């Protein structure tokens, strides 16, 4: 499959990713008026790393730490009976109570909205947060559910035959966002 993928354009480089995350961190703080009752929960895999980085940005700005958790949504996917390759189940790691918290869900790319739908179901099973907000690095459009991002790093209009790849230092060795075309 990889051989059929063609890199079309680089949307964000390393510095742009860093600046974008810093801007989102400011926006999260602005909307929530600080860090009180605030927590970040990243959706595996890359959302988890982005959540950690956003938390570092927030701590840099406010001088206050913010709780970070990791959510695995595999068991909540609506395509489990369709999935052509079996997804690997990983652990959810949220060691704090989300009851009455303002939860910011973090993911790399917002596309159909189905992942976010699964994530919200998973969160509701863990408790009743005061609010759930959504932060993504890239919004590429083509929603199939009534879901939108509260904080988006970049809106990238894409065609269905394209994909947006977010690459991160932690998972891919370098920070960048690229559009790839399926051949």
- Contacts of residue 101, Cβ cutoff 8 Å, sequence gap at least 6: 37, 38, 39, 67, 129, 130
| Binder among 11, 17, 25, 92 for another protein (CB under 8 A) | 92
Nearest residue (CB) to another protein, 102 versus 118: 118
Decide whether 69 or 153 has the Cβ nearer to another protein.
Answer: 69
* Binding range to another protein, per CB under 8 A, among 15-23, 54-62, 76-84, 142-150: 76-84
Per CB under 8 A, 95 contacts another protein: no
Binding mask 6-45 for another protein (x = CB under 8 A): ----------------------------------------
- How many whole angstroms separate alpha carbon 180 and alpha carbon 7? 4
Nearest approach in angstroms of CB 48 to another protein is 14
Q: Which of residues 131-170 bind another protein (CB under 8 A)?
A: none
Q: Of 14 and 96, which CB lies nearer to another protein in the complex structure?
A: 96
Q: What is each CA distance from 73 to 19, 24, 92, 118, 151, in whole angstroms?
A: 28, 23, 8, 6, 21
Least distance to another protein, CB of residue 74, Å: 8
Partners of 7 in the beta sheet? 180
We find the least distance from the C-beta atom of residue 138 to another protein, in angstroms, to be: 27
- Identify which range of 19-27, 67-75, 139-147, 169-177 contacts another protein by CB under 8 A: 67-75
Cβ pair 64, 97 in contact under 8 A: no
Taking CB under 8 A as the rule, which mask of x and - marks residues 106-135 in contact with another protein? ---------------xx--xxx--------
> CA angle, 69 as apex, 68 and 73 as ends, to 5°?
150
Compute φ and ψ for 172, nearest 5 degrees: -125, 0
Cα–Cα distance for residue pair 93/48, rounded to 1 Å: 10
CA atoms of 153 and 21, how far apart (whole Å): 7
Give residues in contact with another protein (CB under 8 A). Answer: 72, 74-76, 80-93, 121-122, 125-127
């Amino acid at each position: 499959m990889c051989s059929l993928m063609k890199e079309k354009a680089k949307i964000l480089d390393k510095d742009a990713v860093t600046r974008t995350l810093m801007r989102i961190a400011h926006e999260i703080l602005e909307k929530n008026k600080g860090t009180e009752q605030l927590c970040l929960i990243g959706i595996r895999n890359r959302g988890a790393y982005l959540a950690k980085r956003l938390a570092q940005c927030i701590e840099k700005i406010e001088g206050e730490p913010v709780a970070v958790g990791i959510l695995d949504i595999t068991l909540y996917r609506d395509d489990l009976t369709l999935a052509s390759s079996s997804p690997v189940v990983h652990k959810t790691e949220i060691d704090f109570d989300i009851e009455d918290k303002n939860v910011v869900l973090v993911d790399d790319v917002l596309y159909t909205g189905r992942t976010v739908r699964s994530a919200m179901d998973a969160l509701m099973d863990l408790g009743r947060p005061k609010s759930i907000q959504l932060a993504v690095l890239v919004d590429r459009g083509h929603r199939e559910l009534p879901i939108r991002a509260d904080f988006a790093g970049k809106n990238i209009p894409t065609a269905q035959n394209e994909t947006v790849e977010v690459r991160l230092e932690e998972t891919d060795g370098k920070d960048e966002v690229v559009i790839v075309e399926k051949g």
